[in-house]
Structure 1
Amino acid sequence: MTHSYHTDTHTPYVDGGRNWRDNATRYALLPLRVFLGVTFIYAGLDKLTDSAFLKDSGAGSIGDMMRGVKDSSAIPALVDLALNNPVGFGYAIAFGELAVGLGTLFGLLSRLAALGGALISLSLWLTVSWASDPYYYGNDLAYLMAWLPLVLAGAPVLSLDAALRARRRARTGSFR
Protein backbone atom coordinates (compact mmCIF):
# COMPACT_ATOMS: atom_id res chain seq x y z
CA MET A 1 0.00 0.00 0.00
CA THR A 2 1.40 3.40 -0.94
CA HIS A 3 0.53 6.75 0.52
CA SER A 4 0.93 10.07 -1.17
CA TYR A 5 2.14 12.76 1.17
CA HIS A 6 0.81 16.24 0.78
CA THR A 7 3.64 18.60 -0.08
CA ASP A 8 2.32 21.60 1.86
CA THR A 9 4.49 21.80 5.01
CA HIS A 10 1.52 23.02 7.05
CA THR A 11 -0.52 19.86 6.44
CA PRO A 12 1.78 16.88 6.93
CA TYR A 13 -1.12 14.46 6.75
CA VAL A 14 -1.25 11.17 4.89
CA ASP A 15 -3.32 11.71 1.74
CA GLY A 16 -3.58 15.43 2.62
CA GLY A 17 -6.76 14.95 4.70
CA ARG A 18 -7.60 15.73 8.28
CA ASN A 19 -9.62 13.59 10.61
CA TRP A 20 -10.89 14.19 14.13
CA ARG A 21 -7.53 13.17 15.65
CA ASP A 22 -5.75 15.75 13.54
CA ASN A 23 -8.19 18.43 14.68
CA ALA A 24 -7.85 17.32 18.30
CA THR A 25 -4.07 17.59 17.99
CA ARG A 26 -4.36 21.01 16.38
CA TYR A 27 -6.49 22.36 19.25
CA ALA A 28 -4.84 20.38 22.08
CA LEU A 29 -3.11 23.35 23.70
CA LEU A 30 -6.19 25.59 23.64
CA PRO A 31 -7.61 24.46 27.04
CA LEU A 32 -4.18 24.95 28.64
CA ARG A 33 -3.87 28.37 27.03
CA VAL A 34 -7.31 29.45 28.26
CA PHE A 35 -6.68 28.11 31.77
CA LEU A 36 -3.27 29.76 32.15
CA GLY A 37 -4.42 33.00 30.53
CA VAL A 38 -7.51 33.37 32.73
CA THR A 39 -5.61 32.28 35.85
CA PHE A 40 -2.80 34.78 35.34
CA ILE A 41 -5.22 37.62 34.51
CA TYR A 42 -7.11 36.79 37.71
CA ALA A 43 -3.88 36.56 39.74
CA GLY A 44 -2.67 39.94 38.48
CA LEU A 45 -6.01 41.66 39.08
CA ASP A 46 -6.34 40.01 42.50
CA LYS A 47 -2.97 41.40 43.56
CA LEU A 48 -3.71 44.87 42.16
CA THR A 49 -7.04 45.09 43.98
CA ASP A 50 -5.88 43.62 47.30
CA SER A 51 -5.05 46.57 49.55
CA ALA A 52 -3.10 44.36 51.95
CA PHE A 53 -0.89 42.66 49.32
CA LEU A 54 0.75 45.79 47.90
CA LYS A 55 2.25 46.92 51.19
CA ASP A 56 5.70 46.70 52.72
CA SER A 57 4.42 45.04 55.89
CA GLY A 58 1.31 43.75 57.57
CA ALA A 59 -0.88 40.67 57.30
CA GLY A 60 -1.09 39.49 53.69
CA SER A 61 1.54 41.94 52.43
CA ILE A 62 4.13 41.10 49.81
CA GLY A 63 6.83 42.37 52.18
CA ASP A 64 5.88 40.03 55.02
CA MET A 65 5.47 37.12 52.61
CA MET A 66 8.95 37.65 51.16
CA ARG A 67 10.52 38.03 54.62
CA GLY A 68 8.75 34.80 55.64
CA VAL A 69 10.25 32.75 52.79
CA LYS A 70 13.76 34.24 52.80
CA ASP A 71 15.38 31.52 54.89
CA SER A 72 13.64 28.65 53.10
CA SER A 73 14.02 29.77 49.48
CA ALA A 74 16.42 28.19 47.01
CA ILE A 75 17.81 31.60 46.07
CA PRO A 76 17.74 33.95 49.09
CA ALA A 77 19.45 36.66 47.01
CA LEU A 78 16.35 36.80 44.79
CA VAL A 79 14.23 37.38 47.90
CA ASP A 80 16.69 40.06 49.08
CA LEU A 81 16.31 41.77 45.69
CA ALA A 82 12.52 41.77 46.10
CA LEU A 83 12.87 43.09 49.65
CA ASN A 84 14.78 46.16 48.39
CA ASN A 85 11.37 47.41 47.23
CA PRO A 86 8.60 44.93 48.13
CA VAL A 87 5.79 47.17 46.87
CA GLY A 88 7.54 47.72 43.53
CA PHE A 89 8.17 43.98 43.29
CA GLY A 90 4.50 43.30 44.06
CA TYR A 91 3.42 45.67 41.28
CA ALA A 92 5.94 44.10 38.89
CA ILE A 93 4.59 40.62 39.59
CA ALA A 94 0.96 41.76 39.32
CA PHE A 95 1.43 43.66 36.05
CA GLY A 96 3.64 40.85 34.74
CA GLU A 97 0.92 38.30 35.47
CA LEU A 98 -1.67 40.52 33.82
CA ALA A 99 0.43 41.00 30.66
CA VAL A 100 1.26 37.28 30.49
CA GLY A 101 -2.38 36.33 30.99
CA LEU A 102 -3.69 38.72 28.32
CA GLY A 103 -0.99 37.72 25.82
CA THR A 104 -1.69 34.05 26.44
CA LEU A 105 -5.46 34.28 26.34
CA PHE A 106 -5.56 36.34 23.15
CA GLY A 107 -2.55 34.63 21.61
CA LEU A 108 -0.58 37.83 21.04
CA LEU A 109 3.19 37.40 21.22
CA SER A 110 2.19 34.07 22.71
CA ARG A 111 5.64 32.50 22.99
CA LEU A 112 6.98 35.60 24.71
CA ALA A 113 3.95 35.66 27.02
CA ALA A 114 4.45 31.98 27.84
CA LEU A 115 8.14 32.58 28.51
CA GLY A 116 7.13 35.38 30.88
CA GLY A 117 4.70 33.04 32.61
CA ALA A 118 7.38 30.37 32.90
CA LEU A 119 9.85 32.87 34.39
CA ILE A 120 7.29 34.16 36.90
CA SER A 121 6.45 30.57 37.90
CA LEU A 122 10.15 29.66 38.11
CA SER A 123 10.94 32.65 40.32
CA LEU A 124 7.99 31.89 42.60
CA TRP A 125 8.98 28.22 42.78
CA LEU A 126 12.57 29.08 43.70
CA THR A 127 11.43 31.51 46.39
CA VAL A 128 7.89 31.19 47.73
CA SER A 129 7.09 27.51 47.23
CA TRP A 130 10.59 26.01 47.32
CA ALA A 131 10.14 24.67 50.85
CA SER A 132 6.92 22.77 50.02
CA ASP A 133 7.38 19.20 51.17
CA PRO A 134 6.72 17.04 49.33
CA TYR A 135 7.50 19.21 46.30
CA TYR A 136 4.17 18.50 44.59
CA TYR A 137 2.30 20.44 47.29
CA GLY A 138 3.71 23.64 45.79
CA ASN A 139 1.85 24.66 42.64
CA ASP A 140 4.50 26.93 41.08
CA LEU A 141 6.50 24.00 39.70
CA ALA A 142 3.36 22.61 38.04
CA TYR A 143 2.64 26.03 36.51
CA LEU A 144 6.22 26.19 35.23
CA MET A 145 5.78 22.82 33.50
CA ALA A 146 2.40 23.91 32.09
CA TRP A 147 3.98 26.97 30.47
CA LEU A 148 6.69 25.02 28.64
CA PRO A 149 4.47 23.53 25.87
CA LEU A 150 3.20 27.05 25.13
CA VAL A 151 6.77 28.39 25.03
CA LEU A 152 7.55 25.72 22.42
CA ALA A 153 4.35 25.79 20.36
CA GLY A 154 2.97 29.28 20.83
CA ALA A 155 -0.70 29.77 19.95
CA PRO A 156 -1.12 28.28 16.47
CA VAL A 157 -4.95 28.47 16.39
CA LEU A 158 -7.63 30.90 17.53
CA SER A 159 -5.07 33.58 18.28
CA LEU A 160 -4.00 37.02 17.17
CA ASP A 161 -0.59 35.52 16.31
CA ALA A 162 -2.25 33.09 13.86
CA ALA A 163 -4.40 35.87 12.36
CA LEU A 164 -1.36 38.11 11.87
CA ARG A 165 0.58 35.21 10.36
CA ALA A 166 -2.27 34.45 7.92
CA ARG A 167 -2.55 38.11 6.99
CA ARG A 168 1.20 38.33 6.36
CA ARG A 169 1.08 35.17 4.21
CA ALA A 170 -1.85 36.50 2.21
CA ARG A 171 -0.10 39.82 1.62
CA THR A 172 3.17 38.24 0.51
CA GLY A 173 1.62 35.30 -1.30
CA SER A 174 3.72 32.93 0.79
CA PHE A 175 2.09 29.76 2.09
CA ARG A 176 4.98 28.58 4.26
Structure 2
Amino acid sequence: MRTDTTPHLEVGRDRRDAVLRYALLPLRVFLGITFLYAGLDKLTDSAFMHASGAGSLGDLMRNVRGSSAVPALVDLALKSPVGFGYAIALGELAVGIGTLLGLLSRLAALGGALISLSLWLTVSWASSPYYYGNDLAYLMAWLPLILAGAPVFSLDSALRARRRQFVGWWPR
Protein backbone atom coordinates (compact mmCIF):
# COMPACT_ATOMS: atom_id res chain seq x y z
CA MET A 1 0.00 0.00 0.00
CA ARG A 2 1.36 3.38 -1.07
CA THR A 3 1.42 6.14 1.55
CA ASP A 4 3.46 8.85 -0.26
CA THR A 5 1.10 10.82 -2.55
CA THR A 6 3.43 13.76 -3.20
CA PRO A 7 4.32 12.79 -6.82
CA HIS A 8 0.63 12.38 -7.61
CA LEU A 9 -0.13 15.79 -6.11
CA GLU A 10 2.65 17.38 -8.15
CA VAL A 11 1.23 15.98 -11.39
CA GLY A 12 -2.22 17.26 -10.43
CA ARG A 13 -0.84 20.69 -9.57
CA ASP A 14 1.08 20.88 -12.88
CA ARG A 15 -2.04 20.02 -14.83
CA ARG A 16 -4.09 22.56 -12.87
CA ASP A 17 -1.43 25.24 -13.44
CA ALA A 18 -1.44 24.53 -17.19
CA VAL A 19 -5.24 24.73 -17.34
CA LEU A 20 -5.20 28.04 -15.46
CA ARG A 21 -2.45 29.42 -17.71
CA TYR A 22 -4.42 28.61 -20.89
CA ALA A 23 -7.92 29.30 -19.53
CA LEU A 24 -8.30 32.75 -21.08
CA LEU A 25 -6.94 31.79 -24.50
CA PRO A 26 -10.34 30.85 -26.02
CA LEU A 27 -11.83 34.14 -24.79
CA ARG A 28 -8.87 36.09 -26.18
CA VAL A 29 -9.16 34.40 -29.59
CA PHE A 30 -12.94 34.95 -29.72
CA LEU A 31 -12.77 38.62 -28.77
CA GLY A 32 -9.79 39.28 -31.02
CA ILE A 33 -11.44 37.74 -34.08
CA THR A 34 -14.79 39.37 -33.31
CA PHE A 35 -13.32 42.87 -32.97
CA LEU A 36 -11.09 42.42 -36.01
CA TYR A 37 -14.12 41.31 -38.02
CA ALA A 38 -16.26 44.18 -36.65
CA GLY A 39 -13.67 46.76 -37.70
CA LEU A 40 -13.24 45.25 -41.17
CA ASP A 41 -17.01 44.94 -41.58
CA LYS A 42 -17.53 48.63 -40.83
CA LEU A 43 -14.73 49.70 -43.18
CA THR A 44 -16.05 47.60 -46.05
CA ASP A 45 -19.79 48.34 -45.61
CA SER A 46 -20.67 50.86 -48.31
CA ALA A 47 -23.64 52.24 -46.35
CA PHE A 48 -22.20 52.40 -42.82
CA MET A 49 -19.65 55.20 -43.28
CA HIS A 50 -22.20 57.85 -44.23
CA ALA A 51 -23.81 60.70 -42.30
CA SER A 52 -27.28 59.69 -43.49
CA GLY A 53 -29.11 57.05 -45.46
CA ALA A 54 -30.29 53.51 -44.88
CA GLY A 55 -27.74 51.52 -42.86
CA SER A 56 -25.59 54.58 -42.09
CA LEU A 57 -23.97 55.30 -38.76
CA GLY A 58 -25.54 58.78 -38.79
CA ASP A 59 -29.06 57.35 -38.99
CA LEU A 60 -28.26 54.75 -36.34
CA MET A 61 -27.05 57.45 -33.94
CA ARG A 62 -30.09 59.65 -34.59
CA ASN A 63 -32.38 56.64 -33.95
CA VAL A 64 -30.81 55.73 -30.59
CA ARG A 65 -30.31 59.27 -29.25
CA GLY A 66 -33.62 59.34 -27.35
CA SER A 67 -33.09 55.96 -25.70
CA SER A 68 -29.37 56.10 -24.87
CA ALA A 69 -28.08 56.40 -21.32
CA VAL A 70 -25.64 59.15 -22.32
CA PRO A 71 -27.13 61.26 -25.13
CA ALA A 72 -24.06 63.53 -25.01
CA LEU A 73 -21.99 60.64 -26.44
CA VAL A 74 -24.46 60.30 -29.29
CA ASP A 75 -24.36 64.06 -29.88
CA LEU A 76 -20.56 63.89 -30.03
CA ALA A 77 -20.77 61.12 -32.64
CA LEU A 78 -23.34 63.11 -34.62
CA LYS A 79 -20.94 66.06 -34.96
CA SER A 80 -18.99 63.90 -37.43
CA PRO A 81 -20.62 60.52 -37.99
CA VAL A 82 -18.13 59.50 -40.67
CA GLY A 83 -15.13 60.46 -38.52
CA PHE A 84 -16.67 58.68 -35.54
CA GLY A 85 -17.33 55.61 -37.69
CA TYR A 86 -13.70 55.50 -38.79
CA ALA A 87 -12.53 56.00 -35.20
CA ILE A 88 -14.66 53.07 -33.98
CA ALA A 89 -13.65 50.82 -36.91
CA LEU A 90 -9.93 51.57 -36.55
CA GLY A 91 -10.21 51.18 -32.77
CA GLU A 92 -11.84 47.77 -33.23
CA LEU A 93 -9.08 46.77 -35.67
CA ALA A 94 -6.37 47.84 -33.23
CA VAL A 95 -8.07 46.02 -30.35
CA GLY A 96 -8.58 42.87 -32.43
CA ILE A 97 -4.99 42.77 -33.69
CA GLY A 98 -3.52 43.58 -30.27
CA THR A 99 -5.66 40.92 -28.62
CA LEU A 100 -4.89 38.21 -31.17
CA LEU A 101 -1.15 38.91 -31.17
CA GLY A 102 -1.04 39.50 -27.43
CA LEU A 103 0.73 42.82 -28.00
CA LEU A 104 0.03 45.39 -25.30
CA SER A 105 -2.72 42.98 -24.40
CA ARG A 106 -4.02 44.77 -21.30
CA LEU A 107 -4.18 48.05 -23.20
CA ALA A 108 -5.96 46.31 -26.09
CA ALA A 109 -8.43 44.76 -23.63
CA LEU A 110 -9.02 48.17 -22.03
CA GLY A 111 -9.70 49.59 -25.50
CA GLY A 112 -12.16 46.77 -26.18
CA ALA A 113 -13.87 47.38 -22.87
CA LEU A 114 -14.18 51.12 -23.56
CA ILE A 115 -15.62 50.51 -27.02
CA SER A 116 -18.09 47.99 -25.56
CA LEU A 117 -19.00 50.38 -22.74
CA SER A 118 -19.63 53.26 -25.14
CA LEU A 119 -21.79 51.06 -27.38
CA TRP A 120 -23.71 49.73 -24.39
CA LEU A 121 -24.41 53.24 -23.05
CA THR A 122 -25.57 54.46 -26.46
CA VAL A 123 -26.73 51.84 -28.96
CA SER A 124 -27.85 48.88 -26.85
CA TRP A 125 -28.91 50.68 -23.65
CA ALA A 126 -32.62 50.37 -24.44
CA SER A 127 -32.47 46.60 -25.01
CA SER A 128 -35.10 45.00 -22.87
CA PRO A 129 -34.49 42.84 -21.00
CA TYR A 130 -30.93 44.07 -20.59
CA TYR A 131 -29.36 40.72 -21.51
CA TYR A 132 -30.60 41.06 -25.11
CA GLY A 133 -27.97 43.77 -25.63
CA ASN A 134 -24.66 42.05 -26.35
CA ASP A 135 -22.42 45.06 -25.64
CA LEU A 136 -22.73 44.56 -21.87
CA ALA A 137 -21.63 40.94 -22.24
CA TYR A 138 -18.63 42.04 -24.33
CA LEU A 139 -17.73 44.60 -21.68
CA MET A 140 -17.75 41.90 -19.00
CA ALA A 141 -15.74 39.53 -21.25
CA TRP A 142 -12.94 42.10 -21.57
CA LEU A 143 -12.47 42.46 -17.79
CA PRO A 144 -10.55 39.18 -17.21
CA LEU A 145 -8.19 40.08 -20.05
CA ILE A 146 -7.59 43.52 -18.53
CA LEU A 147 -6.69 41.82 -15.25
CA ALA A 148 -4.65 38.89 -16.57
CA GLY A 149 -3.27 40.09 -19.91
CA ALA A 150 -2.06 37.45 -22.35
CA PRO A 151 0.33 35.14 -20.49
CA VAL A 152 0.67 32.53 -23.28
CA PHE A 153 1.05 32.61 -27.07
CA SER A 154 1.60 36.36 -27.03
CA LEU A 155 4.16 38.90 -28.07
CA ASP A 156 3.91 40.34 -24.55
CA SER A 157 5.16 37.08 -23.02
CA ALA A 158 7.86 36.72 -25.69
CA LEU A 159 9.09 40.26 -25.02
CA ARG A 160 9.02 39.61 -21.27
CA ALA A 161 11.10 36.45 -21.71
CA ARG A 162 13.53 38.33 -23.94
CA ARG A 163 13.95 41.09 -21.34
CA ARG A 164 14.60 38.49 -18.64
CA GLN A 165 17.18 36.81 -20.85
CA PHE A 166 18.86 40.16 -21.55
CA VAL A 167 18.88 41.17 -17.88
CA GLY A 168 20.37 37.79 -16.95
CA TRP A 169 23.10 38.22 -19.58
CA TRP A 170 24.07 41.78 -18.63
CA PRO A 171 27.32 41.85 -16.60
CA ARG A 172 27.05 43.22 -13.09
- TM more than 0.5: yes
Q: Which residue does 2:110 correspond to in 1?
A: 115
- 2:118 is the alignment partner of 1:133: no
1:165 correspondence with 2:160: yes
In the alignment, what sits opposite 1:51? 46
Q: Which residue does the alignment assign to 2:138?
A: 143
Q: Give CA deviations for 1:19-48 in whole Å, capped at 9, x if unaligned.
A: 222211110000000000000000000000
The higher radius of gyration belongs to 2
Which structure 1 segments of 5+ residues have no match?
5-13
Bigger drift between 109-118 and 15-24 goes to 15-24
Relative to its length, the structure with more helix (as a share) is 2
Match of 2:89 in 1: 94
1:8 counterpart residue number: none
Moved over 6 A (4+): none
CA offsets per residue over residues 61-100 of structure 1, 9 Å max, x none?
A: 0000000000000000000000000000000000000000
Aligned identity (percent) is 80
Extract unaligned runs of 5+ from structure 2.
1-5
Amino acid in structure 1 at the alignment position of 2:34: T
Q: Work out the CA distance in 2 between the residues paired with 1:76 and 1:47.
A: 22
One-letter amino acid matched to 2:73: L
Alignment TM-score, normalising by the size of structure 2: 0.91
Alignment root-mean-square deviation, CA: 2.0
In the alignment of these two chains, the number of paired residues is 165
| Amino acid corresponding to residue 109 of structure 2 in structure 1 | A
Identify the residue that residue 154 of structure 1 maps to in structure 2.
Answer: 149
The one of 57, 63, 67 equivalent to 1:68 is: 63
